[in-house]
Structure 1
C-alpha cells in the first residue's frame, strides 16, 4: 500500500505536466510569430526657392502675384531635382524675367528604413525681382539646409552659410537665429532671418534664409514689390519604427528540465523537490523503511510464540 501511495504523486504530476504543456502550446506558437508595426511612414520635403510676392506695375494699375517655387520635392517616394533657373513671364514687357540663377541648386527628400530626410544645397546664386533688372536682391556664396527625422531618435535641423552674402549691392554679416535689416535709400529695404530652425518630438524644419522685402525703386511706382522670399528649406516628420520579428528564444519553454511549474522531475533529484507539491515530506522514505522493519520483527515474534505454545 505504501508503495502505491508513493507512486501516485508522480502519476498526478505527469498528468498535470501534460495538461500544462497542451495549454501552453498555442501561447508558445503565438509568441514565436513575427510582430508587425503599422502607422505613419514619415515625410520629408525640400525646396531651393519659394516666393510669396505681390508685384504692382505702372503705379499699381497692374498687380501680378509672384508665386514661384524652384526644385520643390516631397517624399515618402524619394525625389531629387537640380534645376538652376526660375523664370517669370508677363512682368518685363512680355519677356521672361529671371528670378533666380545659380551654379548649384539641388534638393532631395527621402524616406527609407525608418528615416526621413530633406536636404537643399544652393551655391553661387543671384535673386532678382521686377523693377531691379540690373541689381540683385540678394547674392549668396553657398547655403545648405538639412532636416533629419529618424525613428527612436530626436529630430535635428541645421542650416549652414559659406561665403559672402550681398543684399541690394551691400555685403552683410548675418547671425544665426537673428534678424538683419538692410536699407538702401531710393530702392527699398530687406529684412533677413538666417538659419531658422524648429524641432519637435517628431518633426524638424530648417530654412537657410528668409527675406521680407519692400522694394520700390526711386518711389516711381514702376514696380512695387512686397512679400517674402525663402531660400533653401528642408523639413521632415519621423516615421514609425520598422517592424521587428519576435525572437523565439525569448518565449516560454516547455522543454523537460527547465523548472517550469508542473514538470516531472527526472530520476536522481532529491525527494523533497519532487514531493513538495503533494504534501509529502523528506522524512517519508525513512518512515516507510522503519515501518517495514517493524513488520518483519513483529512477524518473527508471532512465529516464535506459536512454536513455543506448540
Structure 2
C-alpha cells in the first residue's frame, strides 16, 4: 500500500509557532536606549596682560607694548610666556623686563561637567619702559579664580592680600572704587581692585587692573599710556546634556496584547497567521472527524473480509 506524507502548510506552521510563543508567556518589548549629549565647558587664565603705547621723546614714534604672561585656555590648551620684551629705540636696545615674580602660574581645565580658570602671582614687580629703576607696581600676592559647573551658578573670586607699592608709594587698596596714585615728575597710575562678574553660564575675575599714564623722560621715552591686567580668569559652563528621544521604525505598529483569562483559548494575531479566531476550533474538529472516518473505514474492511471467508 502506497503511503504519502504531506508537509504542513506555511500557514499551519505559523499558527503553531504563534500558539507556542503565546503559551510560553508574555513578550517584553524594549525601546532603544536614549543617549545624552553635551558640550564641554571653556576656561582661560592669564597672569599678566599689557596693552601699552610707548611714545619716544620726539613724539613722532609710538611703539606698542602688547604682551601676555602664562596665558592658557581649555579645552584647547596653549601656553605663552613673555617675561621680557625688546622695543626699538628704548633702553638703548636692551630688553625691557616687564615682570619679575617668584610665582606666576595659570591653570585652565574644562570637561563635560565643569570648567575652571585659576591664576596666582606672588612677590611680583612690574616695570614699564623709561623707568628702569622704579617699579610701576610691587605686590605680595594676587589670585583670581572662575568656576563654572553644569547646572550650577558660576563663581568668580579675586583677591589682593598683602602690601602693594605703586611708583614707590605704599598704598592700601579698598573695594570702594578705583584709586589713583600720583608722583610728580613721573606720572600717575589708577588701580581698580578685584573686578568680578557672572552670568547664568559665565564668570570672570580680575584681581587688579591698572590704568597707566607716566612721562618718565628717560631712556628716550616720553610717555607710556595704556592698561595692565594682573591675574585674570574666565570660564563658561558646559552645556547641559539633552536626552534624545528614542525613535520607532516608521512601519512599527502597537502590539495587540490582552491578558488571558481562565478557560479562554489563546487568540492568534490575524496579521501574523492569516487565519481567524476560530482556526483552533476548526483544526480540532477536523482532527476529530478524520479520526472518526478512519475508524469507520476499518470496521467496513473487517466486515468485508469476514463475508469473503464465509
Counterpart selection for 1:264 from 230, 234, 259: 259
1:139 aligns to what?
Answer: 138
Q: Quick check: 1:186–1:219 contact (8 Å CA) kept in 2?
A: no
What does residue range 63-212 of structure 1 map to in structure 2 within 5 Å? 63-78=62-77, 85-90=83-88, 91-176=90-175, 178-212=177-211
Structure with the bigger percentage of helix:
1
Unaligned runs of 5+ in 2: 1-18, 246-255, 263-310
Q: For residues 189-213 of structure 1, what are the alpha-carbon distances to aligned partners after superposition, in whole Å with 9 as ceiling and x for unaligned?
A: 1110010001001100000000001
Q: Quick check: 1:106–1:121 contact (8 Å CA) kept in 2?
A: yes
Q: For residues 272-297 of structure 1, what are the alpha-carbon distances to aligned partners after superposition, in whole Å with 9 as ceiling and x for unaligned?
A: xxxxxxxxxxxxxxxxxxxxxxxxxx
Q: Secondary structure at the match of 1:93?
A: helix
Q: For residues 121-171 of structure 1, what are the alpha-carbon distances to aligned partners after superposition, in whole Å with 9 as ceiling and x for unaligned?
A: 000000011111100000010000000111010000001122100000011
2:52 aligns to what?
Answer: 53
Report the RMSD for the aligned CA atoms in angstroms: 3.1
Normalised to the residue count of structure 2, the TM-score between the two structures is 0.67
Q: For residues 84-143 of structure 1, what are the alpha-carbon distances to aligned partners after superposition, in whole Å with 9 as ceiling and x for unaligned?
A: 833334321111110111000010111024101111000000001111110000001000
Q: For residues 256-277 of structure 1, what are the alpha-carbon distances to aligned partners after superposition, in whole Å with 9 as ceiling and x for unaligned?
A: xxxxx9752777xxxxxxxxxx
Q: Quick check: 1:86–1:101 contact (8 Å CA) kept in 2?
A: no
Counterpart selection for 1:29 from 6, 27, 31: 31
Name which one, 1 or 2, has greater alpha-carbon Rg: 2
- What is the Cα deviation at residue 222 of structure 1? 3.3
- What is the Cα deviation at residue 78 of structure 1? 4.8
| C-alpha spacing 1:77/1:243, structure 2 compared with 1 (3 Å) | farther
- Runs of 4+ in structure 1 displaced over 4 angstroms? 78-81, 218-221, 242-246
